[in-house]
Structures are given as structure tokens and as C-alpha cells.
Structure 1
Amino acid sequence: MKIRTITTGISLQSPQDTEKIRQAAEFNQQVKEIFTQQGYEVQTTRIATNSWEEYLQGLSNIEILNQIQNLEQICLNLNLSFFNIGYASKLSTIALIPEINQQTSVIYCSSKIGDFVDGINLENALASAKAIKRISQESENGYGNFRFCAWANCQPGIPFFPTSYHQGDTGFAIGLECCDLVTAAFSQAGNIQTAEQKLHKLLEQELNKIAAIAEIISDKFAIAYHGIDTSLSPSLDKNNSIAFAYEKLMNGKFGQPGTLAISGMLTRALKSVSVKICGYSGLMLPVCEDIGLAARANEQTYNITNLLLYSAVCGCGLDTVPIPGDISIEKIAAILIDMATLAIKLDKPLSARLFPIPNKKAGEMTAFNSPYLVDCQIFQVD
């Protein structure tokens, strides 16, 4: 099991608050070293802030872009590769996101299109769809959307990007990559009930070790520990693909009958661990971040509707899903609204990170040049 991310959240009053960013970067490095000394591989450390609408309010668009470029330079000077400026919730700020994306390389952000209290914001959904479409057209192979998503009903403290944002005093959370535990549990089980029992036992053993270390770190540095996002973030290692793990329990392939039941079981197991949990703490099915999911997408054993269905019992929504480059803004907005409807109806956090692929149609292959993504066929959107 690997630690995918140590994410420290800070609240900025001003983009000039470089000392707070530096302190967070130093803290992340110290935490990484502690976990490394305990035998864990830490893949990334990250920083997330409160919504940039708060600390950049009252500025013109040009001033906002200048300030965010300054933040980018601060990050680069500190060797930070993952910095999230939180979410936009206004039409004017959502409209700025494509320019922010184009002028930065380590800045991540998101848009809020609804929550359980206020329902779906249809205007924000349409504005977010416009941003997704424009980012795809202004970045190589549509890759810019890796750093942007739209979400509904997501709370602060999610350690995974691009949804991550922060509120309140400085604190940290941990995101894991533990598909190897799922593979191990499912390999030893002959049915779904036994698999759930074995997975729960493995999660209890391994996550309590990490939680104990995190609590010690919290006490030592007097920084709040918000918990572990137990979500099964993906692996590019084919031996630990979440899709291939499913198939150890199925008489078929991921996407075929039985997939929904396993998805629900996985979420029960992930939420039942006796550690402090945060964020999604559910099943992630990011198509272009898992070799098995990409392989089954190529075989068309599942589609976008299936992914939304699985999100009803698990999941973080639609993640790294490639769609045709000529898709209309209205269709993108409809997908976002479907996602938000599920999130609000079920009162759960869901997000959508969609990749319109310029000049390519359904059935053609993506051509990402990224260490974080695997190529697969573009989904049909009817």
C-alpha cells in the first residue's frame, strides 16, 4: 500500500501570504520523511487553500490572473507540483478558469455546481461546461482538464485533487493508493461476502497503522489531522488495477452484471474502517488512471451511464473520462447536471473531470503524454 498524497490545507487572507505557503510546504516534507522512515512510499505532497474567491475578491480579472501567476511562481520556487486554489462558485470566476489553466502548470481548481442545501446551480453547470470545452481546445490533447473538475456536495478537506479545498485553521489529511489490498483480499475469496470480510480485516490492520503515525505527527507539530480518505485511488500497475480486482469475483468483465454489487460492497468496506475518515472515502473509478478500466473501456464493457450508476452506490463521480472533442457545451452541461442530481439526491460528494479530446471522435484513442494517465478509447455520448 502506498500513500498517494499528504495534503495540507491552509486558509489564505492574501496571495502575498507566502510564509504560510512555505510553512505548509516544509510541514509536508517533514511528514513525508516521517512516513518514509516508517517504510511507506509517499507519492505526492500537496497544498490546498480556501476558495480563491475569498482572497482575491475585489480584484479585476487581470489582477486576479497576475496574482495567481505569482502563486504559481511561489510554488515553483518551493518545488511544489500540486497547489489547489479551491473552487469558484460565481459565473464570473468560473469563466476565468480556462485562462488560469492556460497560464499555469501546477495550479489546480474546481467549480461548485450545487449542494444538498441549495440544490443544483444550473447556470454554474453551464459555465463549467463552457470552461471544460474551452480548456480542451486550448491545451495539448485536452490534457488541461486534468487540473479542473466540477463538483456538487463536496466538503472541505478532501485530499484528492482537483476537488480539494480548505476551510479554517491549518490541517492535513491523507489519501491512499490501496488497490493492492483489494487485489489481495479478492484473490483469497471465493464470493463477495468473504471478499468483504477479508478486505475489512486488511484495511483495519493497515489503516490503523497509518492513522497512529498521523496522530503522533499532529501532536508533534500542533497541526490538526483530519483523517484518511479511504477511497481506492487507482494504480497504473496492471497487477493492482481495480477493474481486474473486480474480475476475481465476477464471472465476466468489469462493467458486466455483478459490477454494481461489488461497487456497493467496496464502499461499505471502505466506510466501515475504525479510523477517522474524510473526503470521498468511497470507490474511485478514473478511467484514464487505471490500466484495467482503460482496457475494459476499449472493449466497451461499460459506458458513462454505467459509471454514474456505480456512483450511486460508491464512487467520486466521473473521473478522467474521455469524450468526443466536438461534443456540445449543452451535452457536457447535461452530464454535469446528472452527476449533481445524484450527489444531491443521495447527499454524497461527487465530481466530474471530463476530457473532451480535440479533433477526435468516439472510438478513437486518446494520446496523452502524461505519467499520470493511460490512453484509452473515447466514450460515446449519445
Structure 2
Amino acid sequence: MKIRTITTGISLESLQEKEKIKQAAEFNQQGQIEFEKQGYEVQTTRIATNSWEEYLQPLSKSEVINEIQSLEQLCQSLNIHFFNIGYADKPETIAIIPDINKNTSIIYCSSKIGDRQTGINFENARESAKVIKCISQETENGYGNFRFCAWANCQPNIPFFPTAYHTGNTSFSIGLELGDLVMEAFSQAHDILPAEQKLQLLLEVELKKIAVIAEKISDKFQVLYTGIDTSLAPSLDKENSIAFAYEKLMDGKFGNSGTLAISGMLTRVLKNVSVKICGYSGLMLPVCEDVGLATRANEQTYDITNLLLYSAVCGCGLDTVPIPGDITIEKITAILIDMATLAIKLNKPLSSRLFPIPNKKAGEMTRFNSPYLVDCKIFTVD
């Protein structure tokens, strides 16, 4: 089991609070050292802030871009590789995101398109669709959308990017990569019930170890610990693929009958581990971040509608899904609204990170040049 991220959240009133950013970076480094002393691999450390509207709102578009570029330079000087400026919640600020994306390389952000209290914000959904389309056209192979998503009903303290944002006092959360434990549990079982019981036992043991270390770090450095996001983060390692783990229990391939039941079972386990949890704590199915999911996408064993269906009983929504480059803003908007409808109706956090691929159609292969993504065929969007 690997620690995917230690994510520290800070609240800013302006980007002049450089000391607060520096302190967060130093805390992340110390936290990484503490976990590595116990034999854990920490893949990344990250920082997330409150909504950037709160500390950049009075500025003009060009001033916002300049401030965020200066922020990125500071991050690079502090060896920070993942920094999230939170979300935009107004159409006019959502509209600035393509320029932020184009002029930075390590800055992540998101847009809010609805929550349980206020319902779906259709104007924000459409503006977010425009952002997705624009970023796809302005970055190589549409890769810029790796650093942007639209979400509904997501709370603070999600450690995973690009959804992460923060409120209140400085705190930290942990994101894990649990594919190896799922594969172990499912390989030792031949049916869904014993697989569930085996996975529950494995997670109880392993996550309690993580929680104990995290609590000690919290006490030692006096930084609030908000919990573990137990979500099954993806793997580019074939042995730990989420999709291939499913197939240990199925008479068929991921996407065939039984996929929904296993998705529901996984989420049931992930939400019922007796440690402090936060964030999604559900099942992630990011198509281009898991070699098994990409393989089955190439074989067309599932589609976007299936992914939305699985989101009803599990995970984080639509993640790293490649779609045709000529898709209309109206169709992207419709996808986002479908996702938001599920999130609000079922009162769960969901997000959409979509990749329109410029000059490519459904069925053609992506050509990403990224250590974080695996190529697969582009999905059809009806």
C-alpha cells in the first residue's frame, strides 16, 4: 500500500501570505519523512487553499493571472509540485480558468456547479463546459484538463486533485493507493461476500497503522488531522489495476454484469473502516489513470453511461474520460448536469474531469505524453 498524497489545506486572505505557504510546504516534508521512517512510500505532497475567489476576487483578469504566476514561481522555489487554488463559483471567474491553466504548469483548480442546499447551477455548468472545451484546444492533446474539474456536492478536505479545496484552520488529510490490497483480497476469494469480508479485515489492519502515524504527526507539529480519504486511487501498475481486481470475482470483464454489484460492495467497505475518514472515501474509476480500465475501454466493455451508473453506488464521478475533440459545449454541459443531478439526488460528492481530444474522433487512440496517464480509445458521446 502506498500513500498517494499528504495534502495540507490552508486558508489565504491574499497571496502575500507567503510564510503560510512556506510553513505548509515544510510540514508536508516533515510528514513525508515521518511516514517514510515507518516504511511507507509517499508519492506526492500537496497544498490546497480556500476558493481563489476569496483572495483574488477584487483583481482584474490580468492581475489574477500575474498573481497566480507569481504563486507558481514561489511554489517551484519551495519544491512544491502540486498546488490547488480551490474552486470558482461564479461564471465570470470560471471563465478565467483557461488563462490560469495556460499560463501555469503546477496549479490546479475546479468549478462548483451545485450542492445539496442550492441545487444545480446551470450557468456555472455551461461555463465549466466552455472551460473544458477551451482548455482542450489550447493545450497539447487536451492534457490541460488534467488540472481542472467541475464538481457538485463536494466538501473541503478531499486530498485528491483537482477537486481539493480548504476552509478554516490549517489541516491535513491523507490519500492512499489501495489497489494492491483489493487485488490481494479478491484473489483470495471466489465470490463477492468472502471478498468483502477479506477486504474489510485487510483495510482495518492497514488503515489503522496509517491513522496512528497521522495522529502522531498531528500532535508533534500541532496541525489538525482531518482523516484518510479511503478512495481506491488508480494504478498504472497492471498487477494493481482496479479493473483487473474486479475480474477476479467476475465471470467476464469489467463493465459486464456484476460490475455494479462489486462497485457497491467496494464503497460499502471503504466507508465503513473504523478510522477517521474524509473526502470521497469511495471508488475512483479514472479511465486514463488505470491500465485495466483503459484496456477494457479499448474493448468497449463499458461507456460513459456505465460510469455514471457506477457513480450512483460508488465513487467520484467521471474521471480522466477521453471524449471526441469536436464535442459541442451543449453535450459537455449535459454530461456535467447528469453528474450534478446524481450528486445532489444521492447526496454524495461527484466530479467530472473530461478530456476532449483535439482533432480526434470516437474510437481513435489518445496520445498523451504524461507519466500519469495511459492511452486508450476515445469514448463515444451520444
TM-score (norm 2): 1.00
* Match runs of 1:230-241 below 5 Å: 230-241=230-241
User: What is the deviation of 1:279?
Assistant: 0.1
* Match runs of 1:73-222 below 5 Å: 73-222=73-222
CA–CA separation in structure 1 for the residues paired with 2:185 and 2:62: 53
CA–CA separation in structure 2 for the residues paired with 1:284 and 1:58: 36
1:109 alignment partner, SS class: strand
- 1:44 aligns to what? 44
- 2:270 aligns to what? 270
Following TM superposition, where does structure 1 have runs of at least 4 consecutive aligned residues deviating by more than 2 angstroms?
A: none
CA–CA separation in structure 1 for the residues paired with 2:3 and 2:95: 34
The gaps in structure 2 that reach 5 residues or longer are: none
CA–CA separation in structure 2 for the residues paired with 1:58 and 1:140: 32
| Cα distance per residue 1:233-289 (max 9 Å; x no partner) | 000000000000000000000000000000000000001100000000000000000
* Match runs of 1:308-323 below 5 Å: 308-323=308-323
1:142 alignment partner, SS class: helix
CA–CA separation in structure 2 for the residues paired with 1:73 and 1:12: 17
Given residue 179 of structure 1, which amino acid in structure 2 is its aligned partner?
A: G
- 1:324 aligns to what? 324
User: What is the deviation of 1:209?
Assistant: 0.2
CA–CA separation in structure 1 for the residues paired with 2:366 and 2:304: 16
2:57 alignment partner, SS class: coil
User: What is the deviation of 1:79?
Assistant: 1.2
- 1:347 aligns to what? 347
CA–CA separation in structure 1 for the residues paired with 2:184 and 2:296: 21
The gaps in structure 1 that reach 5 residues or longer are: none
- 2:55 aligns to what? 55
- 1:357 aligns to what? 357
User: What is the deviation of 1:41?
Assistant: 0.3
CA–CA separation in structure 2 for the residues paired with 1:58 and 1:372: 35
User: What is the deviation of 1:190?
Assistant: 1.2
User: What is the deviation of 1:343?
Assistant: 0.1
| Cα distance per residue 1:177-215 (max 9 Å; x no partner) | 010000000000011000000000000000000000000
CA–CA separation in structure 2 for the residues paired with 1:361 and 1:81: 33
CA–CA separation in structure 2 for the residues paired with 1:7 and 1:128: 25
CA–CA separation in structure 2 for the residues paired with 1:360 and 1:175: 34
Given residue 101 of structure 1, which amino acid in structure 2 is its aligned partner?
A: N
Given residue 376 of structure 1, which amino acid in structure 2 is its aligned partner?
A: C
Given residue 300 of structure 1, which amino acid in structure 2 is its aligned partner?
A: Q
CA–CA separation in structure 1 for the residues paired with 2:140 and 2:81: 19
- 1:279 aligns to what? 279
- 1:243 aligns to what? 243
CA–CA separation in structure 2 for the residues paired with 1:55 and 1:94: 15
Given residue 64 of structure 1, which amino acid in structure 2 is its aligned partner?
A: V
| Cα distance per residue 1:137-190 (max 9 Å; x no partner) | 000000000000000000000000000000000000000001000000000001
Given residue 186 of structure 2, which amino acid in structure 1 is its aligned partner?
A: F
55-64 or 281-290, which moves further after superposition? 55-64
User: What is the deviation of 1:62?
Assistant: 1.1
- 1:10 aligns to what? 10
CA–CA separation in structure 1 for the residues paired with 2:130 and 2:13: 29
1:196 alignment partner, SS class: helix
| Cα distance per residue 1:3-48 (max 9 Å; x no partner) | 0000000001111111000000000000000100100000000000
TM-score (norm 1): 1.00
1:44 alignment partner, SS class: strand
- 1:366 aligns to what? 366
| Cα distance per residue 1:105-153 (max 9 Å; x no partner) | 0000000000000000000000000000000000000000000000000
CA–CA separation in structure 2 for the residues paired with 1:244 and 1:78: 38
CA–CA separation in structure 2 for the residues paired with 1:270 and 1:29: 27
For these two proteins, the number of residue pairs brought into alignment is 382
